[in-house]
A and B are shown apart, each in its own frame.
Chain A
Amino acid sequence: DTEVTQTPKHLVMGMTNKKSLKCEQHMGHRAMYWYKQKAKKPPELMFVYSYEKLSINESVPSRFSPECPNSSLLNLHLHALQPEDSALYLCASSPQGQGYWDTQYFGPGTRLTVL
Chain B
Amino acid sequence: TQLLEQSPQFLSIQEGENLTVYCNSSSVFSSLQWYRQEPGEGPVLLVTVVTGGEVKKLKRLTFQFGDARKDSSLHITAAQTGDTGLYLCAGADTGTASKLTFGTGTRLQVTL
Seen from chain A, the residues whose Cβ lies within 8 Å of a Cβ on chain B are 2, 4, 6, 31, 33, 40-43, 45, 48, 50, 55-56, 88, 90, 92, 94, 96-109, 111
Contacts and interface: CB of A to CB of B under 8 A. Distances in A.
Nearest to A10: B40
Contacts of B13: none
A97 B43 contact: no
Going nearest first, the 8 A-B pairs with the smallest beta carbon separation are: A101-B31, A42-B102, A106-B42, A102-B97, A103-B48, A109-B42, A97-B98, A100-B30
Interface residues of B, number: 25
Contacts of A103: 31, 33, 45, 48
B43 A56 contact: no
Given A42-B105, A109-B40, 5 more contacts: A41-B105, A90-B43, A101-B97, A104-B90, A105-B45
B100 interface: yes
B97 A42 contact: no
B36 to A, nearest CB: 11
Interface string B18-47: 000000000000110101000011111100
A6 B96 CA distance: 25
Nearest to B4: A42
Contacts of A40: 105
B62 interface: no
B55 interface: no
A32 to B, nearest CB: 10
A90 B40 CA distance: 10
B50 A42 contact: no
